[in-house]
Amino acid sequence: MKHFALKPCLTACLFCCSANAFADITWSGFANIIGGKSPGGESLYGYDDGFSFNEDSLLGLQASSSLGDGLGMTVQVISRGSDDWEPLFEWAIISYDINEDWRVLFGRQRTPANMFSDFVDVGFAYPWIQPPRGMYSPSFDSYDGIGSIYNFSLGDTDNTFHVLFGRSFDNPFGDVVDNIDIKDYAIAAWSIEWEWLTFRLSYNVSELEVDFPTVDGLADALAAGDAGLPDVDLTQLAEDMKMDGDSRSTASVGVKVQKDQLFFVAEYSDSDDGDNFLGDSSAWYTTLGWSFDEVMVYAIYGENEEEANIDIFEQLPTLNGASYIVSSGADNVYGTDDDGLDFVTPATAYAVMASRNSETSYYSLGLRWSFHDSASINFEYTEESDDLNQADDNSVLRVGISAAF
């Protein structure tokens, strides 16, 4: 679930407690109305061969209030087409300005993982329809905790140092995963801006707990089924598959150039997900755009790699020269116990773990027309290909209007 019942109560209480608050509320909002279709039926990002508006469209409303003495409150509610337009609190923070360069935030807030993470939902704020999906997933972008944003100058450069410490229970995979708990999430991000050039670094660590019945069940069966494998202890292997309290770290680096008509960004991110089902992953993309008055044409290219955590199987010995991870059918003595009952073999576990291996690349070509002071329209075509399995390419053609007030 993305929202907490606590937050609306907190919001209501604070607004009521401050008699001046109602006179001092600043309303702002944004909308992305995006429609798309996967031509040829090879669906991408949830679209199919019929034109649909529900996947990426959203409306956001934000209320900000100054409570005096450096204290402020901001709440942001977003309704997404993909959630049946149910309004949810994405942001609910109390901010305190230690001085005009240093703000501390308490509550639910966005993580500054990458260059466009802070405002990933505000289509109007960047030139594409969305930040590249390979690096910016629609989930895990908000954490409940404490943040600090500090601005400072170094010579001719403007710098921001943003840290956040928090927790997330966000579970976008509710149909296959019972529970996600990202604990002790800590991130530090530093960006340095000189005229038209911005450079950015971020690093985060967290502890991950995921209740994933398919993987957990497989791991438990593997550990329990060593009745037929008296010399082999599979409990360590089983533990290595599960995501229960594993440490995870991600490093990101990015550069942006925005000079006259030129727009260029490149970002790279590398995650070490620990010894578990997730394995390690890395992603990068680059984009180039050129403006002609109110029109910008742009291209994006990116690659993603997920590396299955199959090194853990190397701890298994072989028996009579046969590897545990290769199933040789009915004759594989490690596939049945003495009563002829099948139990999970390391080969099955290996196949599930190895399925995490993935290499994809994608490109987008698009155009943005800022036809109005407060609104723009995008036309964007994206194609993603599976470089590992050589399956058919998936593609989507999207058109979107983004506005902000």
Partner 1 sequence: MKKSNYSLLFALMMGLLSTLTPLAYAEVAVIVHPSISDELSKKYIARLFLGKEKKFPGGSAAIPLYQVPGTSARKSFDAVILKKSVSQIKGYWSRLVFTGKSVPPKEVDGDSEVLALIAKDPKFIGYVDAGSADSSVKVLLKF
Which residues of the shown chain bind partner 1 in the complex (CB under 8 A)? 26, 28, 30, 60, 62, 64, 66, 74, 76, 91, 93, 95, 100-101, 103, 105, 109-110, 118-119, 121-122, 124-125, 149, 158, 294, 370, 372-374, 376, 404
- Closer Cβ to partner 1, 118 or 267, answer by number: 118
Taking the complex as a whole, the smallest distance from the CB of residue 89 to partner 1 amounts, in Å, to 13
- Closer Cβ to partner 1, 190 or 301, answer by number: 190
- Closer Cβ to partner 1, 30 or 212, answer by number: 30
Closest CA to 204 of 185, 232, 183: 185
Whether the Cβ atoms of residue 236 and residue 315 lie closer than 8 Å to each other: yes
Taking the complex as a whole, the smallest distance from the CB of residue 196 to partner 1 amounts, in Å, to 11
Taking the complex as a whole, the smallest distance from the CB of residue 374 to partner 1 amounts, in Å, to 6
Q: Produce one character per residue of 261-279: b if its CB has 16 or more CB atoms within 10 Å, e if not.
A: eebbbbbbbebbbbbbbbb
247 alpha carbon, distance to own chain's centre: 17
Taking the complex as a whole, the smallest distance from the CB of residue 64 to partner 1 amounts, in Å, to 6
* Distance from the first to the final alpha carbon of the chain: 28
CA dihedral 329, 333, 334, 336 (to 10 degrees): 80
Taking the complex as a whole, the smallest distance from the CB of residue 129 to partner 1 amounts, in Å, to 15
- Closer Cβ to partner 1, 116 or 350, answer by number: 116
- Closer Cβ to partner 1, 108 or 248, answer by number: 108
Distance CA 298, CA 376 (A): 15
Which residues are within 8 A (CB) of 211 and not within 5 positions of it... i.e. 6 or more apart?
177, 178, 179, 180
Taking the complex as a whole, the smallest distance from the CB of residue 105 to partner 1 amounts, in Å, to 6
Closest CA to 260 of 293, 286, 229, 217: 293
- The percent of the chain in helix, strand and coil, each rounded to the nearest 5, is 15, 50, 30
- Closer Cβ to partner 1, 92 or 237, answer by number: 92
Distance CA 14, CA 23 (A): 14
Half-sphere exposure of 350 (CA within 13 A, CB side): 15
Taking the complex as a whole, the smallest distance from the CB of residue 99 to partner 1 amounts, in Å, to 9
- Closer Cβ to partner 1, 119 or 173, answer by number: 119
